[in-house]
Amino acid sequence: MWRILFIAWLSGFTVMGLEMSFARMVAPYFGTSMPVWAINISTVLISMSFGYMVGGRLSKRSGYQRYLGVALLMSGLIIAVMSLIGPVLLGVAAQVGRQIGVVLKGLSLLGVFLLGATPLFLSSMLIPLCIRSGVSSTTASGSVAGRVHAAATIGSLMGTLVPALYTLAYFGTRWTLLSIGICCVCTGASLLIKRIIAVPLGLMLFAVGFLEIDDAHVRRLPGRILHEETTFYHHIEVRETGDGSREMRFDPGWAVQSIYHPDGPSKTGSWPMFLLSHHLRAACNKPPERALIIGFAAGTLARDLTFAFPDIRIHGVEIDEKLLDVAKRYFHLPEGVDVFPMDGRRFLQQTDETYDLILIDAYKHIYLPFHLATREFFTLAAQRLAPGGVVAANVLTWRKENRLARAIGATMGAVFEHVAQMRVPPLMNAMLYAWRGSNTDVSCYPPQHPGQRLRTKQLLARLQPLPQGNGNLVFTDDRAKVEPYTHRIIASILLGAYWERGGQ
């Protein structure tokens, strides 16, 4: 019976492990929007339904136990192949969709998911076959069904947590899928050759999950609520203080996502730090003509840029299109700013425009989307830069816990000649700047707003080159430890000096 329960566990683990891994594999090509997740989840549910139905029919036939081994072996082989050719197929599907149109782009994405549905279908067939294999009498059928489904549910739980919190970040998508595939192949082979063999499982470590505390319930936020709205991505809250300033928070958290001052540009937060990217341009004696903002939110950075360089043309990318209405109604979005409601990487893949500045300020809660922090992403950003242009990225950090910033800096350094960083305590931010070539101009065109001019001079003194080649991990689409490094920041905040002394 133990073997039957293990196969049921493996079925649940495989199904959920595939769902989490495939979502990670798809993100660089199609984004992480709600429609993409809806197709992903729908594919899993439909595949499971057909798998249960076909598995139930096969359980009536003689030799049904052989089907267990065949389904596991085929599923493992397909998963292994997918781990190797999946990114190639996704790249082709994304390219076909861009060339043909929006409707066929959705169909191409659906086709890729249907390819991944085959191992999901085969894995789901195992549950009714396991129940049939374990039933020796009608009186035991209920007990066997209960134990099989319990084992499958535990497997599903582990298949969700282990890839999401550990293997996808530490070992990458390819090795996560290969590990699942190898486990399925070995187990299927042990059934087909009709003898017990040691199945190389290797117990995987659980990562510690951190609960996100809603700070709005801990302390009373200042000001009156002007607007509240729940979108596909966030619960938005806009507040106004007594001096007419406004701020926008998500969900509502402790971090301010956008801010508006009626008397001028932002004075606090990470937004003024983005202006330094202009001073690193090869032709900084002239104002930048075009800028791209990935993670537009309600347009604080766009307003700051128009104060600094009045003639600049700005493109903004924001995955939550509802924020554009909020920006227009409450944050005085400047005229002439074009905002595109889509994933930032997808925009870079589709546009032919080039920019003097590409500014990245995209977060999902406290997490930087991993596909906006990889070597492939920065290579794409470099292709969209005008000669002498600069990329700037806002990265979370905390005191001595700066592994995330160092790794993203190393990733930038794998693409660009120069990388610099700036930290302004007590802000939980490190600003990273990357560019090619050198600045030969002695005098740069200054920001036109007096307050910004003074603030820029103060911040320039904090700018430091980021050393390269010190062994930091270079993030790739396959392997990016964004989440574990973010968890270490959270642990550093919660545990303080004890964590920083190595007491973890």
Question: pLDDT at residue 208 above 70?
Answer: no
Quote the tokens at residue 397. 């950090």
- Would you state the pLDDT for residue 372? 93
Mean of the per-residue pLDDT values of the chain = 81
At residue 406, φ and ψ (nearest 5 deg) are -65, -40
Query: Do 418 and 301 sit in the same domain of this protein?
Result: yes
Question: pLDDT at residue 90 above 50?
Answer: yes
Quote the tokens at residue 189. 């082979």
Distance CA 274, CA 424 (A): 12
Strand-pair category, 418-423 with 464-465: antiparallel
CATH number where 45 lies: 1.20.1250.20
Question: pLDDT at residue 284 above 80?
Answer: yes
CB contact set of 441 (below 8 Å; sequence gap of 6+): 282, 283, 284, 285
Band (269; pLDDT cuts 50, 70, 90):
confident
Of the residues 175, 192, 209, the one at which a domain ends: 192
Higher pLDDT, 99 or 342: 342
Residue 245 lies in a domain: no
Query: Do 50 and 167 sit in the same domain of this protein?
Result: yes
Residue 257 lies in a domain: no
The model's pLDDT over 353-373, given as tens digits with 9 standing for 90+, comes to: 999 999 999 887 678 888 999
Query: Do 157 and 12 sit in the same domain of this protein?
Result: yes
Mean pLDDT lowest among 68-77, 207-216, 284-293, 305-314? 207-216
Q: What is the largest CA-CA distance in the chain?
A: 88
Residue 198 lies in a domain: no
Residue pair 370/377 in contact by the 8 Å Cβ criterion: no
Cα distances (angstroms) measured from residue 324 to each of 45, 331, 345, 466: 34, 10, 19, 35
CATH number where 433 lies: 3.40.50.150
Of the residues 192, 210, 235, the one at which a domain ends: 192
Query: Do 285 and 160 sit in the same domain of this protein?
Result: no
Mean pLDDT lowest among 21-25, 94-98, 253-257? 94-98
**382-406 mean pLDDT:** 91
Residue 260 lies in a domain: no
- Would you state the pLDDT for residue 315? 96
Cβ-based neighbour number of residue 502 at 10 Å = 6
Query: Do 184 and 53 sit in the same domain of this protein?
Result: yes
**3-11 mean pLDDT:** 85
The model's pLDDT over 217-230, given as tens digits with 9 standing for 90+, comes to: 334 566 788 988 87
Query: Is 397 strand, coil or helix?
Result: coil
**381-406 mean pLDDT:** 91
Cα distances (angstroms) measured from residue 441 to each of 135, 286, 389: 81, 10, 14
Higher pLDDT, 35 or 22: 22
| 179: Cα separation from own chain's centroid | 22
Cα distances (angstroms) measured from residue 375 to each of 189, 413, 480: 38, 9, 10
Distance CA 259, CA 257 (A): 7
Three-state secondary structure readout of 233-284: CCEEEEEECCCCCEEEEECCCCCEEEEEECCECCCCCCHHHHCHHHHCCCCC
CA angle, corner 30, sides to 29 and 32, nearest 5?
120
Question: pLDDT at residue 322 above 50?
Answer: yes
Residue 259 lies in a domain: no
- Would you state the pLDDT for residue 416? 94
Residue type, 295: G
Question: pLDDT at residue 16 above 70?
Answer: yes
Residue 221 lies in a domain: no
Residue 149 lies in a domain: yes
Cα distances (angstroms) measured from residue 413 to each of 242, 346, 404, 418, 471: 45, 22, 14, 7, 12
Of the residues 160, 192, 224, the one at which a domain ends: 192
Query: Do 185 and 272 sit in the same domain of this protein?
Result: no
- Would you state the pLDDT for residue 12? 87
- Would you state the pLDDT for residue 213? 34
The count of domains in the chain is 2
- Would you state the pLDDT for residue 468? 67
Residue 338 lies in a domain: yes
- Would you state the pLDDT for residue 357? 96
Mean pLDDT lowest among 36-45, 92-101, 476-485? 92-101
Q: Which domain holds residue 284?
A: 267-498
DSSP label at 292?
E
**Dihedral-angle region of residue 309 (phi above 0 means left; psi in -120 to 50 means alpha; beta otherwise):** beta
Kindly give the residue spans of alpha helices, DSSP state H, lying in 320-366.
Answer: 322-330, 344-350
Residue type, 307: F
**476-482 mean pLDDT:** 90
Question: pLDDT at residue 216 above 90?
Answer: no
Query: Do 150 and 20 sit in the same domain of this protein?
Result: yes
